[in-house]
Amino acid sequence: MAQRDELQQLPGPAGIIEACWENAESGRGQWPQPLVAVIAHPHPLYGGAMDNKVVTTLARMYRRLGVAAVRFNFRGVGASAGSHDQGRGEVEDMLAVVHWAQARAPGSALLLAGYSFGSAIAAAVSERAAARHLALVAPPVDRYPYAPGGDFSCPTTIVLGGVDELVAADAAAAWARQRSRVTGVIVLPKASHFFHGQLVALERELGTAVSAVLSADPS
């Protein structure tokens, strides 16, 4: 039986990138081609890391959908080399992880996800790597550039907390609904920016949305 979680050290633009590959659960999500999701963690300068509870919840969600998941630490976090680069180098870090994941699973389709700061990085990566779906959790759309061309490059689902202390849910939802590639805006009424007590709801609602997108276009 394959080990579920495999810690990895990958070559990256600033040196080693620490990552964790999580195998899809067998018998789940019988998709026509293998799928792999790469997930970006929140801001490194505020304690963000790949073991963040929202990030691990997203990884579990993907596994249960039959999708392999990759979590990783940005430069300067955990065992990853380098230092914080204000988002510029972090985009390159995630691209390196994407390329590694696709080489490990040849022929796999790519899903991207990110939480808070990580959502901005995932959105930027989606402009440079062909993805089947992009999931943005608590995206601070007023602080970072999202969809600089006016829209996203792939089907996108956005999850917002109704009582988020850092992201104004109403304004972010209105912004998202102006983008035609946004296939769903999920507002969890009781969720803060940190999703305390709301991880089950996050996994359930986003998992349903991701499954619907993949089922609508299973190729």
Contact between 106 and 36 (Cβ < 8 Å) = no
- Joined tokens for residue 113: 């996800």
What is the 3-class SS of 129-161, one letter each residue?
A: CCCCEEEEECCCCCCCCCCCCCCCCCCEEEEEE
State how far the alpha carbon of 193 is from the alpha carbons of 90, 140, 163, 174, in Å: 21, 10, 7, 18
Q: Domain limits at 114?
A: 5-216
Q: What is the three-class DSSP state of 3?
A: coil
Listed residue (1, 18, 2, 20) closest to 10, CA to CA? 18
- CATH, residue 192: 3.40.50.1820
C-alpha 99/C-alpha 7 separation (Å) is 17
pTM of the model: 0.96
Q: What is the pLDDT of residue 29?
A: 61
C-alpha 122/C-alpha 114 separation (Å) is 6
Q: How many domains does the chain have?
A: 1
Listed residue (167, 157, 70) closest to 117, CA to CA? 167
Contact between 40 and 136 (Cβ < 8 Å) = no
- Joined tokens for residue 45: 């300068």
Helix ranges restricted to H, 31-116: 53-64, 88-104
Q: What is the pLDDT of residue 206?
A: 99
Q: What is the pLDDT of residue 105?
A: 95
For the chain, list residues with pLDDT below 50: 1
Q: What is the pLDDT of residue 1?
A: 40
